[in-house]
Amino acid sequence: MQAARTPDALTVQARVIGALILREINTRFGEFRAGYLWAVVEPAVHVLSFAFLIAFFAHVAPLGTSLEVFVATAVIPFFFWRDILTRVEQAQRANRALLYFPIVKVMDAVFARVILEIATWLIIACFALALLGLSGFDALPADPLGCIGVMLVIGWSGAGFGMINLAIGVFTGAWERVLHVIIRPIYLFSGVAFLPSAMPDGLRDVIWFLPTAHLIDWLRECFFDGYHSSFLSKEYVVIMGVVCWAAGLFLERLLRARNEME
């Protein structure tokens, strides 16, 4: 028997998020350490296969010395962004049973997933770059700290879009499916095998609205020495992120009562 305590809300939230992260690790990666290794190796290999495939069909790298590394600097952030978006949008449904404990809030589940996903993808990125390096490519970022910073922004941005989906998903599951149909082509237009600034005017103006195109460009600015993009608008990325988070949090609060019924 242990005495009941009433610690402050932040301590409780930190504790709950910590417990959720541990639980997520256990349920997702299995009880074995190798499970987490697999969770890193699998996406890294996936990302690299994509990079090699696309590089095979393209010709000259717009930046750096190899097309493989150039494509990897787009595929990694894009898959990361999409992955965290999906993880956040499913945070509520996947943790429905846990929300039965009043001490666990939806946002705790969201934060736990965001933290775990960012950590996992930083490791995936390092692992993928190490594999590229071992294959004889020049895969060292010019500004490693800057790259980590941009990766954090990507996680925050993807999670923001995930929040909106989480809220809308309360109303209808159809939206989620529609969104993922939209996301797939976004991938091709976000500058995987090209630089957005090298596109013809009309197309570039359309691409400009894709947050992923800016995020990839931003990462490349930090990755490749001496690259300054004329396309990149950091303001756009930040404003979109703030708007998504604000709308997502607002909707989550608004729809909480409705959610309880399901």
Partner 1 sequence: MIQVQNVTKIYPVAHGRRLVLDDASIDLPGDRNIGLLGVNGAGKSTLLRLIAGTELPTHGRVLREGAVSWPIGFTGSFNGSSTGRANVKFIARIYGRDIDRAIEFVEDFSELGPYFDQPVKTYSSGMRARLAFGVSMAIDFNTYLVDEVTAVGDARFAEKCAAEFRARSAHANIIMVSHSAATLREYCQSAALIAFGKIFYFADVEDGLRAYDDVLRFS
- Region of 99-107, 161-169, 178-186, 241-249 interacting with partner 1 (CB under 8 A): 99-107
Choice from 7, 185, 200, 202 touching partner 1 (CB under 8 A): 7
Closer to partner 1 by Cβ: residue 20 or 84: 20
The footprint of partner 1 on this chain (CB under 8 A) covers a number of residues equal to 31
By CB under 8 A, tell whether 1 contacts partner 1.
yes
- Residue 76 and residue 124 in contact, taking contact as beta carbons nearer than 8 Å: yes
Applying the rule CB under 8 A, the residues between 18 and 47 that interact with partner 1 are 18-20, 22-23, 26-27
Choice from 8, 9, 33, 102 touching partner 1 (CB under 8 A): 102
Closer to partner 1 by Cβ: residue 4 or 134: 4
Q: How far is the CB of 176 from partner 1 (least distance, A)?
A: 21
- Region of 13-21, 82-90, 130-138, 152-160 interacting with partner 1 (CB under 8 A): 13-21
Applying the rule CB under 8 A, the residues between 229 and 258 that interact with partner 1 are 256-258
Choice from 100, 136, 177, 184 touching partner 1 (CB under 8 A): 100
Choice from 41, 61, 99, 210 touching partner 1 (CB under 8 A): 99
Please name the amino acid found at residue 171. F
- Region of 8-16, 132-140, 161-169, 208-216 interacting with partner 1 (CB under 8 A): 8-16
